Amino acid sequence: MRVAVFMLPFLLPNSTIAACYTEGATARLSNYCAMDRIQGARVDLRTVQLIDYKLKLEGSSNGLGLPTRVAANMVTNFAYPILSYSDDINGGNSAEPLVLGELTFDGEEELYRKKGIVVGLGAGLKERYIYGQGRYLNYGLNASYVHSPQHGIGIATTSANVSSINHIKNWWYLDVHANTSRMSKDITDDKSSNLTVVTSKVYSSGDNTYNEASFGVNRYFAESYNQNQLVLGYDTIHPNGVFSAVDVTFGESVKNQLASKMSLRAKVIIKLADKPLTVSASYADADGGRLLGFERSDETYSISATYNLWSNLTASVGYRTTNSTIDYFDVNTPTFGVHFSSFEF
């Protein structure tokens, strides 16, 4: 491989390799794209160094054969400011009356849902421990708090995750992920966890198109129920550098619990003025809920656009709507926020 890189007579443009390391793509997909594109090409030293470093971050001890070494254990601390809009700061209820057949219930005003701008700060750490050829562990902790100046209340969020990444053979992977999170508001305190086992394959479908197909199972743990889910994913780096991703989740029925039946998420990332623009859309269908004998199912649609305004500042805007068989749970709300890059130390 190293001989092929340096000895063949034409020079591969740096932009061709840079397109592989596009926003959104996994490291394994980007590395596969870069490795394929340098086959039989003459590449400048900086490009070779970049690919060599990226391969070693993924647990490849040799990379492209350069003498550079990557630490087996890497820990990064980070902090970031938060500025966003929340349509439910306090975990409250709709101000509309709850209508169930011939019955009508009026809620208490102090428990109505509060909306507005929230500001705050988040911090955490992430760690990678490379313990074998193509194998490593990722750990992470994160905590944040945002406050509403308008309502004088806030939202505290904590989360933790660990992942075992394992390259099996010939760009086949088997990964295990576990995460847990908690969101505490003035009225509600929500906790959930996931345990996921996923196998994936990275491959080329020709014409400089690179794909990662994944299939797995997830065990979702909520406070009031547990659910088995089937997860599917398909990511693509297109010849023009556009990245696309589609993820689908199917959930089993849970008796007398409003639980996810199916969710679909899709996104496309393109370069606009040489900066990434992400357009995302999602659909979720939940059913199985019951309230005082009345069945409840919800359909939620959302769309959003995110753009990197400056190197450390990203803005997002979108809209989300939920249609429920019980009108009390209908939601129509804009979504927007300003996202600052984290400060690492």
pLDDT one-digit tens code per residue, 148-201: 999 999 999 999 999 999 999 999 999 999 999 999 999 999 999 999 999 999
Burial of 256 (0-12, 13-18, 19+ CB in 10 A): exposed
Q: What confidence tier does 107 reach under pLDDT thresholds 50, 70, 90?
A: confident
pLDDT at 131 over 90: yes
Mean pLDDT of the chain: 92
pLDDT at 5 over 50: no
pLDDT at 3 over 70: no
Give CA–CA dist 251/285, Å, rounded: 10
Mean of pLDDT values over 130-135:
94
Q: What confidence tier does 9 reach under pLDDT thresholds 50, 70, 90?
A: very low
Q: What confidence tier does 324 reach under pLDDT thresholds 50, 70, 90?
A: very high
pLDDT at 227 over 50: yes
Amino acid 12: pLDDT: 56
H-type alpha helices, 214-262: none
pLDDT at 331 over 80: yes
Which residues neighbour 19 within 8 Å (Cβ) at sequence distance 6 or greater?
A: 33, 237, 240, 241
17-76 pLDDT, tens digit each:
888 999 999 999 999 999 999 888 788 888 889 999 999 999 998 899 899 899 999 999
Amino acid 40: pLDDT: 80
Going from N- to C-terminal start, the domains of the chain cover: 2-57, 73-344
257-313 pLDDT, tens digit each:
999 999 999 999 999 998 999 999 999 999 999 998 899 999 999 999 999 998 889
Q: How far is CA 117 from the centre of its chain?
A: 23
Report the percent of the chain where pLDDT is more than 90. 80
Q: Is 284 helix (H, G, I), strand (E, B) or coil?
A: strand
Pick the CATH number of 73-344 from 2.60.120, 1.10.490, 2.40.160, 3.10.450: 2.40.160
Amino acid 6: pLDDT: 39
Q: Is 30 helix (H, G, I), strand (E, B) or coil?
A: helix
210's tokens? 């690179």
